Amino acid sequence: MNKQPLRSLDLHPIFRNNRDIELAMRQFLFAAARSGDPVAEIIPGKGSGQLLRRVLAFLDQKHIRKLYVRHEQDPHNPGRVLVHFR
């Protein structure tokens, strides 16, 4: 069985710029929702948890919430958020 890699967004390179983070997450989620992939991942990293909190707050916005079914932190890697589309 040939398993496709997850669609992924790594926020490490842009973690200092709030506007870039917001834009990258918005574009990523819209593209992932259109692609039909069941799951995508956002990688805020482990660090202090500040970027993770920002990602979770972004995902919980009402207009963004309509794009996906649910999200969860990866139980094996707390620096990764899985977003489920179906």
Q: What is the pLDDT of residue 5?
A: 61
pLDDT tens digits for 16-69? 778 889 999 999 999 999 998 899 999 998 878 889 999 999 999 999 999 999
Look up the pTM and report it. Answer: 0.86
For domain 7-84, give the fold: Ribosomal Protein S8; Chain: A, domain 1 (3.30.1370)
Q: What is the pLDDT of residue 32?
A: 93
Please state, in angstroms and rounded to a whole number, the distance separating the CA atoms of residues 67 and 84.
10
Q: Where are the beta strands (DSSP E) in the chain?
A: 7-10, 39-43, 70-74, 77-84
